[in-house]
C-alpha cells in the first residue's frame, strides 16, 4: 500500500498544534469559524475513533480514522484519511472523507485534525485503548454529548452569568450580622444553664452541642455525622517526616543501575512500532513518577500501566505453564482488576500503617508514582512509598504494605516464622513483586510490612541480583512472546 504501514503508535506523529489546525482551516475554507466550531465539537464529544498513524515515507505521514455520523447514527461511520508533510511547518497535503462534503474540507476532517493536534500536544506515545462496551454500563439512553459530571461539594463553583457591561471594583468583605454584638454577660449565660434544676428542654439541647464529637474534614473540624464529615473527608497523604532535615531522595529510577538484558527479540512491523511507543528517556521516566504519585486516583497512572507488565503480575508472568495459561493471564491483565474488599481495606489502612511505621522506626516516608526504567520500558513498578532511613547505608529504599484480614501473623500465608521473626517466603508472589520493584527503581532495599489485626511486622529485604536476573529473563519471554501480541490484537 505505497509503503505505508498503519499502527496505533504515535512515535512518528509530527509536531502539530491547534494553531496549525486554525491555519489549515483558514487556508482551505471560507466558513472558518463555523468549520472550526463544528469540528471541535465532533472531537470533544469523541466522534473520532479507530485512530491510526502510518510510518514516514519521504517526509509524508498519513493518519486515518473513522467518525460517527451526527444524524443517521445507525449507518456506517465515515472513513477519514489525511496526509501531513513534516517540514519547517507541518502542513496538510491532502485529505479524504466518505461523507457528501468529503471532497472539500468537511467538519469530520477538521475533527481529525483536532484529534491529531491533541495527541501531538499531549506527547502520548500510543493511542489510548478504549474501554470495551461490555465493561461499561449501557449508554443507549444517554446522548454522546459531554454533560455535567458529578464532583465533590467543595469543588462546586456557583456563579451568576455576567452581562457584557463592565462594572467597578466591589468589596469582597462580608458581615452576616450588621447589628451590635451581644454583651459578654449574655454570651456567658450558657455556663449558668448547668445550675438550673430542673433544666428546660432547650438547655439540654444546647448543652449537648458543647459535648459533640468532632472529626476532621478538608474544612477542618466538623460535627461527626454531618454532611461535610462524609462528603468532604480529609485528604490522606503518606508524606511523613520524622527527620528534619533529611537527605534529599534521588530521582527514580536510579541512574547508576541497569537491569540485565538476556533475551533478544526480533519484532515485526507492528511489534516494532508498539515497542517504540513504550520507549522513555530518563527525564520522561522521572516526570512520569512525579506525575503519578496519586497512583490509582491518577488517570495517567492507569494509562501508563496498561501496555506494561507491572510488579504485581511479575510472579504470575514468570510461572505460566503452557500457552493456554499464558494467554489466560494476558486476558486477565487486559481486562484489569476489579477492586475487592481486601484491596479496599488495604487502601484505607495504608496511610495509618505507614504513619505507624514511620514513627516506630524513625524514618521518612514519601509518596511514589509509577517507575518505568528506560532500559526496560515494557516493565513498571509502583511501590507503596519511598523511604529515607539516615541510619542505613544506602539511606534510600522503598516500602510495600500488606494488610491481610486475619487476627495473627501466624495465620498469614506469605510469611514463615523463624526465631520469633516473620520472613517473607521467597516462593511467594510478594517476593517477586518486591524484587521486581527493586530492579525497576534501582534501589537496594525494601521494607516489607505485614499488618494484621493484632500484629505488626517489618522485614528489610535487600536486592537479590541472581533472583532478579532469572525473573527478568522470564518476564521478557512472556511479554515478547505472549502479551505483546495479545495487547495489539485486543
- In angstroms, the CA 472 to CA 470 distance is 6
* pLDDT beneath 70: ranges in the chain: 1-2, 72-73, 130-149, 154, 160-177, 182, 186-194, 202-211, 236-237
| Those residues with Cβ within 8 angstroms of residue 150's Cβ, 6 or more apart along the chain or in another chain | none
Q: What is the pLDDT of residue 463?
A: 96
Q: Does 257 fall in a domain?
A: no
The domain that holds 382 is classified in CATH as 3.90.320.10
- In angstroms, the CA 83 to CA 91 distance is 9
Q: Does 240 fall in a domain?
A: no
Q: What is the pLDDT of residue 170?
A: 61
The three-point CA angle 79-82-87 to 5° equals: 170
Q: Does 143 fall in a domain?
A: no
The three-point CA angle 423-427-430 to 5° equals: 70
Which of 83, 101, 131 represents a domain boundary (last residue)?
Answer: 131
Q: What is the pLDDT of residue 207?
A: 61
Q: Does 100 fall in a domain?
A: yes
Q: Does 378 fall in a domain?
A: yes
Tell me whether strands 456-462 and 385-388 are parallel, antiparallel or unpaired: unpaired
108 lies in which domain range?
A: 6-131
User: What predicted TM-score, i.e. pTM, was given to this entire model?
Assistant: 0.58
- In angstroms, the CA 283 to CA 275 distance is 18
Q: What is the pLDDT of residue 103?
A: 81
What DSSP assignment string belongs to 237-297? Answer: ---B-SSSS-PPPPPSS-TT------------HHHHHHHHHH---HHHHHHHHHHTTTGGG
- In angstroms, the CA 226 to CA 218 distance is 13
Helix ranges restricted to H, 87-157: 107-122
Q: What is the pLDDT of residue 141?
A: 55
Q: Does 111 fall in a domain?
A: yes
| Those residues with Cβ within 8 angstroms of residue 388's Cβ, 6 or more apart along the chain or in another chain | 243, 246, 247, 249, 363, 364, 366, 395, 396
- In angstroms, the CA 142 to CA 470 distance is 51
Q: What is the pLDDT of residue 131?
A: 60
What DSSP assignment string belongs to 151-200? Answer: --GGG----PPPPSS----------S--SPPPPHHHHTHHHHGGG-SSPP
Q: Does 227 fall in a domain?
A: no
Q: Does 286 fall in a domain?
A: yes
Q: What is the pLDDT of residue 237?
A: 67
Which of 96, 131, 166 represents a domain boundary (last residue)?
Answer: 131
Locus of grid cell 464529637:
213
Which of 131, 152, 186 represents a domain boundary (last residue)?
Answer: 131
Task: Based on the fold, state whether residues 274 and 127 are members of the same structural domain.
Answer: no
Task: Based on the fold, state whether residues 273 and 127 are members of the same structural domain.
Answer: no
Contacts 24+ apart (CB under 8 A), 58-61: 59/85, 59/86, 59/87, 60/84, 60/85, 60/93, 61/12, 61/13, 61/14, 61/85, 61/86
Domain count across the chain = 2
Which triple of cell numbers denotes residue 450?
505485614
Amino acid at each position: 500500500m505505497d509503503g505505508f504501514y498503519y499502527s496505533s503508535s504515535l512515535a512518528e506523529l509530527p509536531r502539530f498544534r491547534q494553531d496549525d489546525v486554525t491555519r489549515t482551516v483558514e487556508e482551505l475554507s471560507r466558513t472558518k469559524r463555523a468549520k472550526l466550531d463544528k469540528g471541535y465539537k465532533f472531537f470533544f464529544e469523541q466522534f473520532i475513533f479507530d485512530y491510526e498513524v502510518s510510518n514516514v515515507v519521504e517526509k509524508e505521514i498519513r493518519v486515518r480514522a473513522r467518525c460517527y455520523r451526527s444524524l443517521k447514527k445507525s449507518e456506517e461511520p465515515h472513513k477519514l484519511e489525511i496526509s501531513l508533510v513534516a517540514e519547517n511547518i507541518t502542513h496538510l497535503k491532502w485529505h479524504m472523507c466518505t461523507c457528501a462534503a468529503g471532497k472539500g474540507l468537511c467538519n469530520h476532517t477538521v475533527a481529525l485534525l483536532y484529534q491529531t493536534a491533541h495527541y501531538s500536544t499531549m506527547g502520548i506515545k500510543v493511542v489510548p485503548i478504549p474501554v470495551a462496551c461490555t465493561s461499561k454500563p449501557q449508554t443507549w439512553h444517554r446522548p454522546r454529548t459531554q454533560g455535567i459530571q458529578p464532583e465533590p461539594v467543595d469543588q462546586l463553583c456557583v456563579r451568576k452569568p455576567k452581562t457584557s457591561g463592565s462594572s467597578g471594583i466591589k468589596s469582597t468583605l462580608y458581615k452576616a450580622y450588621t447589628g451590635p454584638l451581644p454583651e459578654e454577660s449574655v454570651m456567658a449565660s450558657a455556663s449558668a444553664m448547668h445550675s438550673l434544676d430542673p433544666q428546660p428542654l432547650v438547655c439540654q439541647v444546647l448543652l449537648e452541642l458543647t459535648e459533640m464529637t468532632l472529626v476532621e474534614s478538608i474544612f477542618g473540624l466538623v460535627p461527626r455525622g454531618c454532611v461535610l464529615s462524609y462528603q468532604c473527608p480529609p485528604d490522606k497523604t503518606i508524606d511523613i517526616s520524622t527527620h528534619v532535615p533529611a537527605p534529599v531522595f534521588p530521582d527514580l529510577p536510579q541512574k547508576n543501575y541497569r537491569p540485565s538484558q538476556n533475551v533478544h527479540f526480533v519484532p515485526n512491523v507492528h511489534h516494532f512500532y508498539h515497542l517504540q511507543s513504550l520507549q522513555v528517556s530518563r527525564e520522561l521516566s522521572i516526570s512520569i513518577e512525579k506525575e503519578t504519585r496519586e497512583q490509582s486516583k491518577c488517570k495517567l497512572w492507569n494509562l501508563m500501566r496498561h501496555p506494561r507488565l507491572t510488579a504485581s503480575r511479575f510472579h504470575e508472568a514468570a510461572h505460566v505453564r503452557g500457552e493456554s495459561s499464558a494467554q489466560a493471564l494476558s486476558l486477565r491483565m487486559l481486562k484489569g482488576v476489579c477492586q475487592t474488599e481486601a484491596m479496599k481495606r488495604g487502601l484505607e489502612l495504608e496511610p495509618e500503617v505507614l504513619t505507624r511505621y514511620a514513627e516506630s522506626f524513625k524514618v521518612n516516608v514519601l509518596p511514589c508514582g509509577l517507575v518505568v526504567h528506560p532500559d526496560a520500558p515494557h516493565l513498571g513498578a509502583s511501590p507503596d512509598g519511598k523511604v529515607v532511613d539516615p541510619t542505613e547505608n544506602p539511606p534510600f529504599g522503598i516500602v510495600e504494605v500488606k494488610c491481610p484480614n486475619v487476627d495473627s501473623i501466624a495465620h498469614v500465608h506469605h510469611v514463615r516464622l523463624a526465631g520469633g521473626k516473620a520472613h517473607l517466603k521467597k516462593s511467594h508472589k510478594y517476593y517477586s513483586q518486591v524484587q521486581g520493584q527493586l530492579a525497576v527503581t534501582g534501589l537496594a532495599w525494601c521494607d516489607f510490612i505485614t499488618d494484621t489485626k493484632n500484629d505488626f511486622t517489618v522485614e528489610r529485604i535487600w536486592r537479590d541480583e541472581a533472583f532478579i536476573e532469572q525473573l527478568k529473563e522470564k518476564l521478557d519471554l512472556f511479554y515478547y512472546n505472549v502479551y505483546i501480541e495479545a495487547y495489539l490484537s485486543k
